[in-house]
Amino acid sequence: MEDAARGARDAASTLAPAHVRRLEDLGDDAAGTVGHKAANLGLLVRRGFPVPDGVLVTAGEPEEALPDRVSEALSVLGEGPLAVRSSAIAEDLGDASFAGQYETVLGVSGPSAVLDAVRRVRQSAHDERVVAYRRAHGPEGQEGVAVLLQRMVTSEVSGVAFTANPLTGARQETVVTATRGLGEVLVDGEAAGEQWVVRGDHALRDRRAPTAVLTEEQALAVAELARRVQAVFDDVPQDIEWAFAGGRLHLLQARPMTALPDPVRWESPLPGGWTRNFRIGEWLPEPVTPLCDTWLLARMEARYAQVSRERLGVYPPLPLHVTINGWYFHSPLGSGGLRPMLGIVRRPRILWALVRSRRPDVGERVVWARETSHWRDELLPRYRALVERRSADVESADDVGLSAIIDEVADAAGEYLQSISSVGGYAWKVEGVLADFYARHLRPTLGGSHQTLVSGLEQPRALDPHAIQSLDWFRPTAGELGIPGGVPRAHAALVEERRRAEEACRGALAPKQRADFDRILALAQKYARIREEQVPDLTLGWPLMRRALARLGESCVRRGVIGHAEDVYFLEREELFADESRASSVAERRTLWARNRKLCPPLLVGTLPRLVQKMQDDAFAPMREPAERRPGMLEGMPASAGRATGVARVILDLADTDRLAAGEVLVTSATTPAWTPLFARAAAVVTDGGSLAAHASLVAREYGIPAVVAVGDATQRISDGQRVTVDGGAGLVEVHTT
């Protein structure tokens, strides 16, 4: 194909006037007279790339010579239709692209129309927007504009491609954006288009157009073309424009990418292993805002550590988390390795309860019955009373008083979080014992998963007004959003399914094993119910804290610290009482937060201690049903048993949940209580993060739908609209290609 194109150009060149500058005739030093855009295309033509034929009107041509130059160009290219574009001397530089600044005229035919288009392009060099851009970015003294005339490509599909991710800087990703018809609507920002992210030989459609634009094969072909262009220009990341016409892929333009961020690195500032999907991380499906990080999380974790020392003898050294590219990562041991656990040696009853892990009834008698009573009889009533009492003070409190309210509620939430990690964590440990018993004594005979035995224990709880979409107080609560509760699935059917599973297990066991099974099952079901009851009330204080923060934001606006009250979330704690404006810092932080929100963070940064990693591996192994693993399958944690096949709906924002139709598979970064109504519609749930104790795991069991959590990058590897099969017992997701 490229040889044929070269032959056609050679034939045309024998007929062209000697002083007409064709793309293929441009030398390596041509940029000074024809601009970098044309010079780059000339090099690509000589390398055999499928660039439409083009002729240059150089920057130095006087106005009176333009009619002759246009006539000469048309003798080479024909009457049209043509595309008439700028190729300014200062355009398409590595640090100044001038993208979209100069005039472009498409589909022009005939001498008069082409001459008018050439004049319009040249005149656009004096437009206000170009002059302003040149002052800010362009080199001094390079104002000349050559004009490139090319045969028009009447494209069925066209677009742009970047050989590095322009948001994250990832050099291993090529981002392809496409639209039907001409690609100028993308370049000019008039349409968003369909977007693909290509990694190696895998293409993922991560933004859909109303109707499909590219096939996966076409997206891969565009990415391969873009990478070949990059190789020509010494591997400098490139921004290309392309088009498909008559089934053939054309290269329309190539320029170096500008303002490309450094590649994102996931490195912890502290030693040890730091996880995304543990404890608070399960409640933070996006980067944390500065005020949440420096105030709420810091306060909660300080109180959490204090109560852990007082009640369990565990001494986790602060900080318990780090933020990497804005994302929260937690260490179960803090920054002190295994040393924090040594305090348990001074608490022999707790140590005994942990050592006898295969006898969870011992642990309950020694520790967790007491901890459960403390939560239900003391901690929860005290938390509720605090929120009710301090709610009456918000409207009358001054800034210092508002800060005190938030401190008190954050402390209470930190103490409540410690109780969840203790009592709710024990529920997970008991379930692990049940899973191990099932794997050793029942799965060989009955198959399946232990998860059916701890599913459908309670009718799904009505959505609380304090249910959140993120632990970060930046996001409104369910009560503020007016989110209606979901329609629960037939709870009686889940109860009956669990009852039949229990009877089948008892029938398959000898009397001694049956007694052990009943003891473990009763305890696992008891603490699963407690966990489901306990977890939703962690955020009782969030509506109150958001009201207090709204008033603090208004105060900051009056003092000129920020421009809008909602900007308060992008201040740091110590900046709340500043005397000077922080508007520029807030704007920078908002931009960075939005950029980081598009990242897909890893589940683990650093390395966990070998003992901790082994404990995790040993605990998870019996929870997974045996299953055939085929190439391309995604693997995560088995969170809720069952299999379901349906259309994947990738949703990253609660505002987009109307897109999920009944019977579709919800694919998201993580779910929190405000997402609960979606479980009534979903056939299954798949999340990037989370754990067996996370919201998605618990609620999926209540609704009786399969769930796989902690896949890591499901939202990056599953395209919206693809058909998938979710195996919640095995923790596998199969993506169907047809």
Residue 457: predicted pLDDT: 87
Q: Average pLDDT in the 424-436 region?
A: 89
* Angstrom distances, CA of residue 200 to CA of 163, 204, 220, 266, 466: 11, 11, 9, 21, 44
> 345: how many CB neighbours lie within 10 A of its CB?
10
Query: 2-151 falls under which CATH superfamily?
Result: ATP-grasp fold, A domain (3.30.1490.20)
Domain boundary assignment for the chain: 2-151, 157-256, 273-479+491-597, 624-736
pTM: 0.77
- Cα dihedral sign for 557, 292, 710, 429? negative
Q: What is the pLDDT of residue 261?
A: 81
Q: What is the pLDDT of residue 501?
A: 95
DSSP-assigned letter for residue 293: I
Decide if pLDDT at 14 tops 50.
no
- pLDDT tens profile 295-304: 999 999 999 9
Please report the pLDDT score of residue 647 as a whole number: 95
Write out the DSSP string of 326-369: TEEEE-TTTTSTTGGGGGGGG-HHHHHHHHTTT-HHHHIIIIIH
CA separation for the pair 535, 537 (Å, rounded): 6
> What is the pLDDT at residue 414?
97
pLDDT on residue 184 = 60
pLDDT band at residue 94 under the 50/70/90 scheme = very low
Question: Is 284 a residue whose pLDDT tops 90?
Answer: yes
Q: Within 10 A of 205 (CB to CB), how many other CB atoms are there?
A: 24
Within 287-331, where are the H helices? 290-291, 298-312
Which of 665-670's residues contact partners 24+ apart within 8 Å by CB, and which partners? 665/724, 665/726, 667/714, 667/715, 667/718, 667/724, 668/285, 668/715, 669/285, 669/286, 669/600, 669/715, 670/277, 670/282, 670/283, 670/284, 670/285, 670/694, 670/695, 670/696
Query: Is 60 exceeded by the pLDDT of residue 153?
Result: yes
- CATH superfamily of the domain spanning 624-736: Phosphohistidine domain (3.50.30.10)
Q: What is the pLDDT of residue 191?
A: 53
Residue 546: Cβ within 10 Å count: 19
Q: By C-alpha distance, which of 70, 100, 74 is closest to 88?
A: 100
Q: What is the pLDDT of residue 610?
A: 81
Residues 336-367: pLDDT tens digits?
555 555 554 455 555 445 544 567 777 788 78
Say whether pLDDT at 324 is over 70.
yes
Domains 2-151 and 624-736 alike in fold: no
Q: What is the CATH number of domain 157-256?
A: 3.30.470.20
Residue range 510-533, pLDDT digits in tens: 999 999 999 999 999 999 999 989
**CA–CA separation, 656 and 360 (whole Å):** 43
For the record, the structure tokens of 22 come out as 């064709």
CA within 13 Å, CB half, 313: 13
pLDDT number for residue 12: 40
At 53-77, the pLDDT tens digits run 999 988 778 888 899 989 999 999 9
Which whole number is the average pLDDT over 556-570?
97
**Worst-scoring range by mean pLDDT, 228-232, 552-556, 654-658, 680-684?**
654-658
**Is pLDDT larger for residue 134 or for residue 221?**
221
Q: Are 556 and 247 in contact (CB under 8 A)?
A: no
Going by pLDDT thresholds of 50, 70 and 90, the confidence category of residue 486 is: low
- The pLDDT assigned to 355 comes to 47
pLDDT at 319: 86
| H helix or E strand, kind and range, residue 433 | helix 425-441
Which range among 38-52, 484-498, 520-534, 699-713 shows the weakest confidence by mean pLDDT?
A: 484-498
Token pair belonging to 63 = 């106005």
Q: Are 648 and 683 in contact (CB under 8 A)?
A: no
Q: What is the pLDDT of residue 58?
A: 83
Nearest to 428 by CA among 318, 337, 507, 332: 332
Task: Note the pLDDT of residue 8.
Answer: 41
Tokens of 181: 């018809």
**pLDDT at residue 371 is higher than 90:** yes
663, β-bridge pairs? none
